[in-house]
Amino acid sequence: MKLVRLTLLSLTLLGCGGAEDTGESDATTDVTDGSTSETGADELLDRSPVEHVCQPGDAPSDPFVDCVESFRPTDASFGHDALPGVVLGPPVGGGASHGGTDVVSLGCDGSITLFFDEPAIVDGPGPDLIVFENAFDSGSANFSEPARVLVSADGVDWRAFPCDPLEGVPLGCAGLAPVLSAPSNGVDPTDPAAAGGDAFDLADVDLSVARYVRLIDVGRTHFAAETWCGGLAGGFDLDAIAAVHGDGIRSRER
């Protein structure tokens, strides 16, 4: 919870084409890698198929999210009235020392699933996508609210990036690095070396193309407390996601 807003925000989200979030399973998941637990559950929240609310169409040919497929927040409400636009387009970073406010808060254990129309995210040299939250540095410390990242080509077969929220620094999770790119500063949001945020390589999960990205807040597990769960801006705060490689996206030497 990095933000404060005095007015209550609407919890209603209209998906692309005016469709509402159709929901996903409420079952629990393994917090380390998103794998199926030994309980035998086969429709876990992080692996559940999408409803295909988002459909290919005439979305702008840019490297950013094109549609919100589903949104399952918990108690947070910051930025909900600005959906879906607040998570479309480039990041609006606040820099290393300031968390940005152009975000939507998931709340602890909340989730959001995003769709990329053409150009899809494709596996190329080095990182292939960057997730932007609003983490910031304070002195020698970094304040972050992590989330697990999953990707899918078809919305059915999901691959989870390793993310261990029990670690002091939960490497492999999103939401760790400050966002340095913003429309006002000219920093390329598709350049992992300059943009900030947290970069992920599809090769690490054996996937060549991704059209869906799912983020699931793991802050409650990471902090082992409810400290950052309450309030309007609790949990992971999503700014944007950018594809580094894709049809029509400029490639660069790594």
Residue 18: inside a domain: no
> What's the token pair of residue 94?
């606040």
CA distance 205 to 100: 29
Q: Above 60 in pLDDT, residue 238? A: yes
Q: What is the pLDDT of residue 254?
A: 37
Q: Which of 174, 176, 196 is nearest to 187 (CA)?
A: 196
Question: How many residues belong to the chain?
Answer: 254
- Burial grade of 18 (CB within 10 A; 0-12, 13-18, 19 or more): exposed
By residue range, what is the domain housing residue 124?
A: 63-248
Residue 226: inside a domain: yes
Helix-, strand-, coil-residue percentages of the chain, each rounded to 5: 5, 20, 70
pTM, two decimal places? 0.81
Q: Is the dihedral of CA 99, 104, 106, 108 positive or negative?
A: positive
Residue 239: inside a domain: yes
Position 253 confidence tier, pLDDT thresholds 50, 70, 90: very low
**Beta-sheet pairing, 240-243 with 111-115:** unpaired
Q: What is the pLDDT of residue 85?
A: 96
Residue 219: inside a domain: yes
Q: Above 90 in pLDDT, residue 66? A: yes
Q: What is the pLDDT of residue 197?
A: 97
Residue 156: inside a domain: yes
**pLDDT tens figures, 126-141:** 999 999 999 988 777 7
Least confident range from 12-16, 80-84, 234-238: namely 12-16
Residue 142: inside a domain: yes
Q: Above 90 in pLDDT, residue 215? A: yes
Report yes or no: 146 and 175 within 8 Å, Cβ to Cβ.
yes
Least confident range from 19-28, 116-125, 191-200: namely 19-28
Q: Above 60 in pLDDT, residue 185? A: yes
Q: What is the pLDDT of residue 247?
A: 60
Q: Above 80 in pLDDT, residue 249? A: no
Determine how many CB atoms are found less than 10 A away from the CB of residue 224. 9
CA distance 124 to 246: 8
Report how many helices (DSSP H) and strands (DSSP E) the chain contains, helices first: 1, 14
Q: What is the pLDDT of residue 45?
A: 57
**pLDDT tens figures, 80-94:** 999 999 999 999 999
- Burial grade of 25 (CB within 10 A; 0-12, 13-18, 19 or more): middle
- Tally the domains of the chain: 1
Residue 197: inside a domain: yes
The residue type of 13 is: L
Q: What is the pLDDT of residue 143?
A: 83
Highest mean pLDDT among 35-39, 157-161, 165-169, 221-225: 157-161
Which is higher by pLDDT, 240 or 12? Answer: 240
Least confident range from 9-13, 89-93, 212-216: namely 9-13
Q: Which of 11, 130, 141 is nearest to 80 (CA)?
A: 11
CA distance 173 to 89: 22
Highest mean pLDDT among 111-120, 168-177, 198-207: 198-207
Q: What is the CATH number of the domain that holds 104?
A: 2.60.120
CA distance 176 to 145: 7
